[in-house]
Amino acid sequence: MEHVISVTLENKAGSLSRVAGLFSGRGFNIESLAVATTLDPTVSMMTIVTSGDDRIIEQILKQLNKIIDVIKVVDLSESDAVSRETALIKVSTRPEDRAETLRIVDIFRANVVDSSPASYTIEVTGAVQKIQAIIQLLQPLGIKEIVRTGRIAIAREPVRTEATQPRPLAKAN
């Protein structure tokens, strides 16, 4: 089963290779990995998409925790989380296809971020299914190049009851 794991780690030279090396060295699967610094410049956040049975996922979580540069590990598949991925897709456009391409961009609420006489570069962000769907639709038109960020994910804040109740009206004086 697919798992999305969020890893908080020291933003140090070599930290990324410790995580990547763990996956390759122990034969764990890695589908995507995205990493960047947080508000605290000494800390990075990494989102790893991996898969395996429960025993393997338990090992992955424990082994990640064992890395000294790793500060915190959360398996986001266990909780409610929002995940997004961005893709940049360069599509070749014959004059007769340009309108169709723009329609697809519109439907997916994607953007054309660069264009040339023979191509559009499309930026699309969303859940992984959405990225896959737009790729499928664009493929017949001719995809020249595609770059994906890999997934990033964040846990949803629990919905607190007091926040959902209507605020008392301010007293009119």
Bridge partners (DSSP) of residue 167 are none
Q: Give the footprint of another protein on residues 64-93 (CB under 8 A).
A: 65-71
Verify binding: residue 25, another protein, rule CB under 8 A. yes
Report, in Å, the least distance between residue 13 CB and another protein: 7
Interatomic CA distance for residues 59 and 11, integer angstroms: 23
Verify binding: residue 17, another protein, rule CB under 8 A. yes
Determine the 3-state secondary structure of 86 from DSSP.
Answer: strand
**Tokens of residue 108, six digits:** 């997916």
| Interacting residue with another protein among 58, 78, 80, 106 (CB under 8 A) | 58
Choose one: 11-19, 28-36, 85-93, 96-104; the region binding another protein (CB under 8 A).
11-19
Strands 81-92 and 143-148: antiparallel
Query: What mask of x and - would describe binding to another protein in positions 30 to 49, judged by CB under 8 A?
Result: --------------------
Interatomic CA distance for residues 94 and 118, integer angstroms: 6
Interatomic CA distance for residues 128 and 150, integer angstroms: 9
Binding site for another protein (CB under 8 A): 9-10, 13-14, 17-18, 21, 25, 55, 58-59, 62-63, 65-71
